Amino acid sequence: MTSREVRKTTHGRLPARFSLLSYNIQMGVETARYHEYLTQGWKHVLPHRERIKNLNRIASMLASFDMVSLQEVDAGSLRSGFVDITEYLAHRADFPYWYRQVNRNIGVIARHSNGFLTRFEPTEVSYYKLPAAPGRGAMVFRFGVGRQAFTLCTAHLALGRRAREKQLDFLSEVLKGRPHLVVMGDLNASCDAPEIRRFVMRHELREPACNHPTFPSWRPVRKIDHILVSRTLEVVRSKVLHYSFSDHLPVSMKLELPEEALAAA
Q: In 32-190, which residue ranges form alpha helices assigned H by DSSP?
A: 36-39, 49-62, 85-92, 161-175
Please name which of 123, 66, 60, 124 lies closest in space to residue 88, comparing C-alpha atoms: 60
**Comparison of pLDDT for 11 and 190, the residue scoring more:** 190
pLDDT at 85 over 90: yes
| pLDDT attached to residue 203 | 97
| Percent of the chain at pLDDT exceeding 70 | 92
Average pLDDT over residues 2-29: 77
| pLDDT at 10 exceeding the cut of 50 | no
Task: Name the CATH superfamily housing domain 17-264.
Answer: Endonuclease/exonuclease/phosphatase (3.60.10.10)
pLDDT in tens, 234-264: 999 999 999 989 999 999 999 999 999 999 8
Region 73-91: what's the mean pLDDT?
Answer: 92
Which residue has better confidence, 7 or 247? Answer: 247
Answer with the residue of higher pLDDT: 94 or 37: 94
Of 26, 21, 23, 86, the closest CA to residue 51 belongs to: 26
Residue range 129-154: mean pLDDT, rounded: 96
- Helix (H/G/I), strand (E/B), else coil: 59: helix
Per-residue pLDDT of 174-221, as tens digits, reads: 999 999 999 999 999 999 999 999 999 999 999 988 999 999 999 999
DSSP 97-115: EEEEEEEEE-TTS-EEEEE
Q: How many CA atoms lie within 13 A of 53 on its CB side?
A: 4
162 vs 76, more confident: 162
CA dist 25 and 92 (Å) reads 15
Residue in 207, 238, 195, 190 with CA at minimum distance from that of residue 21: 238
- Pairing relationship of beta strands 181-186 and 150-156 according to DSSP bridges: parallel
For the chain, the domains span 17-264
Peptide bond into 216 cis (omega under 30): yes
Q: Find out whether 111 and 74 touch, Cβ atoms under 8 Å.
A: yes
Tens digit of each residue's pLDDT (9 = 90 or more) over 120-135: 999 999 999 999 999 9
Rounded to the nearest integer, the mean pLDDT of the chain is: 91
pLDDT at 12 over 70: no
Average pLDDT in the 95-103 region?
96
Strands 124-129 and 4-8: antiparallel
pLDDT of the residue at 1: 33
Beta bridge partners of 152: 141, 182
Q: What is the pLDDT of residues 23-74, one digit of tens each?
A: 999 988 888 777 667 767 666 777 788 899 999 999 999 999 999 999 999 9
Beta bridge partners of 142: 124, 151
